[in-house]
């Protein structure tokens, strides 16, 4: 049981990071950015040389660890800022449906861009192999990558809380999430705050892409899709616009997924995702506004 809980917390940590990235952008822009999945994918593909080989030579992945991490995060943050500036800023005053369609268009464009450069074949890549070794803690063997995932998530959560509460830009971002129009009337630099939200979402996407690549050792065009789907569900469960709710929802979805995978009968395990989605529906039927409600969940005037 302890081993299962460790697995659940590690997976929930990954979903919490994705949910936070989605929740940040939604909080200030009312945009559910489904291109977040492609930020994760492109961050992972930045590790390798663009060839058709199944096991391509490493590019950023061949650098020392600090430079490799910095390179991947830089690529994804720049990509997030470019999509905000080119695709979303000109449509900022449009209705939410237009912004949502724009996010799908950006996603399809980025998917086809990766396919054009890297082809559609999955690639094998080996980074962080030493993290696959298990560490024994109190009789429970925990893979190093799970400890890394939980530790990184905890550190990023603390850093994000401190940023939002202690820095001027963080306070402006919280004000924008509460009432965007009023914050603008009081002098908040809208372009800077929204660009910062996208930059942070890109940073979180880069972290997720590195963790996923270390865990799976495989690059695929849709590797970011399911984490973002689960992250979106986590955001809805936690309460749209609530960052604590997004993190809580991520952990709940991760725990539910692992428990279903472990305790369902063998014949039903392929339907684990359906079980998670059913749980999401049940929670929303009981509490449609989410577990933690803020004024960010209300329509702006």
Which residue, 130, 128, 129, 151, is CA-closest to 13?
Answer: 151
Domain boundaries, the chain: 14-223
Q: Looking at the chain, how many residues does it have?
A: 301
Tell me if 23 sits within 8 A of 241, measured CB to CB: yes
Contacts of 149 (CB under 8 A, 6+ apart): 10, 13, 14, 211, 215
Going by C-beta distance under 8 Å and a sequence separation of 6 or more, which residues neighbour residue 168? none
Q: What is the pLDDT of residue 300?
A: 38
pTM for the structure as a whole: 0.90
Q: Which residues of 277-287 are buried (b: 16+ CB within 10 A; e: fewer)?
A: eebbeebeeee
Low-confidence ranges of the chain (pLDDT < 50): 296, 299-301
- Identify the H or E element spanning 225: helix 225-238
**pLDDT value of residue 39:** 96
Q: Residue ranges of the alpha helices (H) in 84-218? A: 96-118, 144-166, 168-178, 180-185, 190-216
Q: Specify the pLDDT at position 299.
A: 44
d(CA 149, CA 155): 10
Predicted local confidence at residue 59, as pLDDT? 78
* pLDDT value of position 301: 33
CA dihedral 57, 73, 156, 130 (to 10 degrees): 10
pLDDT at 295: 56
């Amino acid at each position: 049981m302890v081993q299962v809980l460790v697995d659940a917390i590690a997976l929930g940590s990954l979903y919490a990071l994705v949910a936070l990235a989605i929740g940040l952008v939604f909080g200030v822009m009312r945009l559910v950015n489904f291109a977040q999945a492609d930020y994760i994918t492109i961050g992972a593909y930045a590790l390798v040389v663009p060839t058709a080989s199944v096991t391509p030579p490493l590019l950023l992945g061949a650098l020392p660890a600090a430079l490799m991490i910095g390179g991947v995060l830089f690529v994804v943050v720049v990509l997030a800022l470019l999509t905000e500036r080119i695709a979303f800023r000109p449509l900022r005053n449009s209705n939410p449906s237009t912004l949502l369609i724009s996010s799908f268009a950006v996603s399809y464009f980025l998917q086809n861009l990766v396919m054009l450069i890297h082809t559609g074949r999955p690639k094998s890549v080996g980074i962080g192999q030493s993290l696959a070794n298990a560490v024994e803690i109190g009789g429970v063997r925990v893979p190093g990558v799970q400890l890394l995932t939980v530790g990184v998530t905890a550190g990023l959560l603390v850093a994000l809380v401190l940023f939002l509460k202690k820095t001027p830009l963080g306070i402006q971002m919280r004000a924008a999430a509460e009432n965007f129009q009023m914050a603008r009337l009081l002098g908040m630099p809208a372009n800077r705050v929204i660009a910062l939200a996208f930059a942070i979402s890109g940073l979180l996407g880069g972290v997720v892409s590195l963790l996923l690549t270390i865990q799976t050792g495989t690059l695929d065009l849709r590797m970011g899709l399911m984490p973002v789907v689960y992250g979106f569900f986590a955001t809805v469960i936690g309460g749209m616009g609530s960052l604590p709710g997004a993190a809580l929802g991520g952990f709940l979805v991760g725990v539910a997924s692992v428990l279903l995978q472990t305790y369902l009968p063998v014949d039903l395990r392929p339907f684990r995702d359906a079980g998670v989605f059913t749980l999401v529906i049940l929670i929303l039927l009981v509490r449609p506004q989410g577990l933690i409600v803020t004024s960010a969940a209300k329509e702006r005037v």
